[in-house]
């Protein structure tokens, strides 16, 4: 019997994050076979019948859609028995988790020195295209104490049941739904009073009184030793910040500005984290160098001819490192001015109020803290079939070290990081091949934004393989022999170097969070509420470690909110949009709702599009392939999304983000006088195109 992926709604090419069975396992009907992960939920796919697994057709990292073969199953000798020899488990469940809870309906009050108590409305999170889903079980009642991620209600769609969890620990004050009700995203489930239940400790040891089996602790229980106050630390802080990337140093500086005594712990030799040291900043320096090389070639068609560039990698590397050093040195000065204590080393929580730091120069120190902000970031993902220890296999950090330019470079992953590095190494002289699992570069972005980029790099790069898997990599003396599985890819090919750019993994499981009572989910993310509080009310988390998008500018805003809440301010993270930018050539940028998302959500929208072929400024740059589009809600008329492709798109998207944040409509944007000739005026012209007032194009009346 063939077991295939059932109907999973509008989700396609969903990654497999866990395979629960192997050939020879005995499974019962409804036993989970694999786990998939979409943007907002994990989905267990169950066995449709009992039997013995004869062949597993997929593995972790594959992407699947409805109808794809999972495994083959032989009829069971005894139904109802799982691979472990026990009765079948509960029916398939889609575990939905929120990134953050909605803002409270009333100002928080200070219930204890260790945390803020508030009443929040718990709502149904984004559940994809599902609407009016029936409630089949209500698992709590008023007065119940729940932990973060405890299920509150169960919904049932056509093919799956979905548990809706508590976003934070607390006590249920009101249940707003009943069995039989139908709910959609945003529907209020219950009112929840956050914070822990304080149980007075007896003055002397007494016989333990067992708690009722149904009572759940309001936040994750730390090991007994961790619950006791540790020995005094070497350093004391009112606010400890773990991680000195853009989110971490922003949080530290803001807390210091608000009068807090701050200690900042980080493993890097200089402040700035991954972004400044081996990410955002060095990559942009090299991308600028690549753009200069490209422009010298492009101008040869217009009468200015340069010779082939003589590239001195040592000098280029030194310039890039100098840019990094200037910025990180500036951060060190800002920390000194604010009297922020910095400690270099690996920090791990040893108790709810103490961090142990393995110092970079040897030894150990401990930091006592009243409140903490976790900004520990993420690491590049690795794949088990790739020989990562081979120096010819690079991650983004290794690629930015610029140790040499290979003759042939394979980039695994056609996302933003992979394409930015492709831009650099192509201009430095490498023959670049890209292998991407999805059917377009930068999956998730609207196709019309990616098309100009795809056309340009298809002409430049040696190969671009879409819908292609890398199934094996063998390190040989002559090179890295790579096996492909894709419609246009060869069975094997040999490369001098390989860059693995398939995403990043959060560091939630590497910091001893459990010792501090901080919940970390199976993927390494730390759930937080709208004030960035974790399940431990005195500890906050920001940046990559709390979920997508993993962007420095998101982390910086979160850092300010966390610092302000720690200092007693009633701040919340409630940004309407978080812009994304690919610093490729041409650049691609978007903010707010994409067309893909609007269609999936059933949003009635209109759009104005302005092609850069009609932009005087674009033509003077010799680049006519770009476009600017703005999406508007047809009901309210307000801007809800924007996408731009072309030179400097990353700088231009800020105006659109502000327009969406401020609730601007097409007239607000179009009637704002923009300088001419500029690329920025394409945003106004796109708004005019939607409104029907544009004169730079002839558009028939709608």
Tens of pLDDT, residue by residue over 175-225, are: 999 888 888 888 889 988 875 443 333 333 333 333 332 222 233 333 333
Distance from C-alpha of 645 to C-alpha of 667, rounded to nearest angstrom? 23
182 is catalytic: no
**Which candidate, 42, 44, 49, 43, places its Cα nearest to that of 72?**
49
CATH 3.50.50.60 in the chain, residues? 235-276+318-373+506-566, 393-502
Residue 391 has pLDDT above 60, yes or no: yes
Supply the DSSP symbol for 81.
Answer: B
Contact present, 483 and 472 (Cβ < 8 Å): yes
CA-based max dimension of the chain: 92
**pLDDT above 90 (res 41):** no
Q: What is the mean pLDDT of residues 327-333?
A: 93
Q: What is the DSSP string of 508-572?
A: GGGTTGGGGT----TTS-----TT-B-SSTTEEE-GGGG-S---HHHHHHHHHHHHHHHTT----
Q: Give pLDDT tens digits for 99-112.
A: 444 433 333 332 22
646 has pLDDT over 50: yes
Determine the topology of domain 109-194 in CATH. Answer: OB fold (Dihydrolipoamide Acetyltransferase, E2P) (2.40.50)
Least confident of 231-240, 501-510, 575-584: 231-240
Is the pLDDT reported for residue 483 higher than 50? yes
Residues of the chain with CATH 2.40.50.100: 2-91, 109-194
Residues recorded for the chain: 702
**Which of 10, 129, 182, 676 is labelled catalytic?**
676
The Cα 76–Cα 538 span in angstroms is 52
Element (H, E) at 85: none
> How high does pLDDT run on average in the chain?
86
Asked if the model's pLDDT at residue 160 lies above 80, the reply is: no
Check residue 268 and report its DSSP letter: S
The sign of the torsion formed by the CA atoms of 248, 249, 250, 254 equals positive
The CATH fold assigned to 580-691 is: Enolase-like; domain 1 (3.30.390)
Token pair listed for 446: 């609207």
- Top CATH class of 2-91 equals mainly beta
Q: 423: how many CB neighbours lie within 10 A of its CB? A: 26
Architecture, CATH, for domain 393-502: 3-Layer(bba) Sandwich (3.50)
> Tokens representing 673?
């006088």
pTM: 0.69
Pick the CATH number of 235-276+318-373+506-566 from 3.10.450.50, 3.40.190.10, 3.90.650.10, 3.50.50.60: 3.50.50.60
């Amino acid at each position: 019997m063939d077991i295939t992926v059932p109907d999973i709604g509008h989700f396609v090419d969903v990654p497999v994050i866990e395979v629960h069975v192997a050939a020879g396992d005995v499974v019962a009907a409804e036993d989970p076979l694999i786990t998939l992960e979409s943007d907002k939920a994990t989905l267990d796919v169950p066995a449709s019948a009992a039997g013995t697994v004869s062949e597993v057709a997929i593995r972790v990292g594959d992407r699947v859609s409805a109808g794809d073969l999972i495994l083959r199953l032989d009829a069971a000798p005894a139904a109802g028995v799982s691979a472990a020899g026990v009765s079948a488990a509960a029916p398939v469940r889609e575990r939905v988790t929120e990134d953050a809870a909605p803002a409270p309906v009333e100002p928080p009050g200070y219930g204890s020195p260790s945390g803020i108590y508030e009443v929040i409305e718990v709502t149904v999170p984004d559940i994809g295209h599902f609407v009016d889903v029936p409630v089949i079980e209500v698992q709590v009642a008023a007065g119940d104490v729940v932990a973060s991620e405890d299920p509150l209600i169960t919904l049932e769609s056509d093919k799956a049941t979905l548990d809706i969890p508590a976003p934070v620990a607390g006590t249920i004050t009101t249940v707003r739904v009943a069995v039989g009700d139908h709910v959609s995203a945003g529907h209020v489930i219950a009112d929840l009073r956050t914070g822990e239940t304080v149980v007075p400790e007896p003055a002397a040891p007494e016989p333990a009184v067992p708690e009722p089996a149904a009572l759940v602790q309001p936040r994750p229980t730390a090991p007994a030793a961790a619950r006791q106050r540790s020995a005094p630390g070497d350093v004391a802080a009112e606010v400890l910040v773990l991680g000195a990337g853009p989110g971490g140093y922003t949080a530290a500086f803001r807390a210091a500005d608000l009068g807090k005594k701050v200690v900042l712990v980080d493993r890097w030799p200089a402040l700035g984290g991954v972004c400044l040291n081996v990410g955002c900043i060095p990559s942009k320096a090299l991308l600028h160098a690549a753009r200069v090389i490209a422009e010298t070639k492009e101008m040869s068609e217009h009468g200015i001819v340069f010779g082939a560039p003589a590239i001195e990698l040592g000098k280029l590397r030194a310039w890039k490192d100098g840019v990094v050093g200037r910025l990180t040195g500036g951060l060190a000065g800002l920390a000194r001015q604010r009297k922020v204590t910095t400690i270099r080393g690996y920090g791990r929580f040893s108790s709810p109020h103490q961090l142990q730091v393995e110092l970079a120069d040897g030894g150990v120190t401990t930091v006592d803290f009243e409140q903490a902000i976790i900004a520990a970031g993420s690491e590049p993902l690795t794949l088990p079939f790739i020989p990562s220890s081979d120096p010819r296999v690079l991650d983004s950090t290794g690629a930015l070290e610029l140790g040499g330019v290979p003759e042939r470079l394979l980039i695994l992953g056609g996302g933003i990081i992979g394409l930015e590095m492709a831009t650099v190494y192509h201009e430095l002289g490498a023959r670049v091949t890209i292998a991407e699992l999805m059917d377009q570069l930068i999956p998730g972005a609207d196709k019309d934004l990616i098309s100009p980029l795809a056309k340009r790099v298809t002409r430049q790069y040696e190969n671009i393989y879409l819908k292609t898997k890398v199934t094996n990599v063998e390190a040989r003396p002559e090179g890295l022999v790579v096996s492909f599985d894709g419609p246009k890819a060869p069975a094997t090919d040999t490369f001098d170097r390989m860059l693995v750019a398939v995403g990043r993994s959060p560091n939630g499981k590497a910091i001893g969070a459990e010792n501090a009572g901080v919940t970390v989910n199976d993927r390494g993310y730390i759930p937080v509420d709208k004030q960035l509080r974790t399940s431990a009310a005195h500890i906050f988390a920001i940046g990559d470690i709390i979920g997508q998008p993993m962007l420095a500018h998101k982390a910086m805003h979160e850092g300010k909110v966390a610092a302000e809440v720690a200092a007693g301010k009633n701040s919340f993270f409630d940004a309407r949009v978080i812009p994304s930018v690919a610093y490729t050539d041409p650049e691609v940028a978007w903010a707010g709702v994409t067309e893909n998302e609007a269609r999936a959500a059933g949003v009635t929208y209109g759009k104005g599009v302005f092609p850069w072929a009609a932009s005087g400024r674009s033509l003077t740059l010799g680049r006519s392939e770009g476009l600017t589009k703005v999406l508007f809600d047809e009901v309210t008329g307000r801007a809800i999304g924007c996408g731009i492709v072309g030179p400097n798109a990353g700088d231009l998207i800020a105006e659109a983000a502000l327009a969406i944040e401020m609730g601007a409509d097409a007239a607000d944007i179009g009637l704002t006088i923009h300088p001419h000739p500029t690329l920025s005026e394409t945003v106004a012209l796109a708004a005019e195109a939607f409104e029907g007032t544009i004169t730079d194009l002839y558009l028939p009346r709608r």
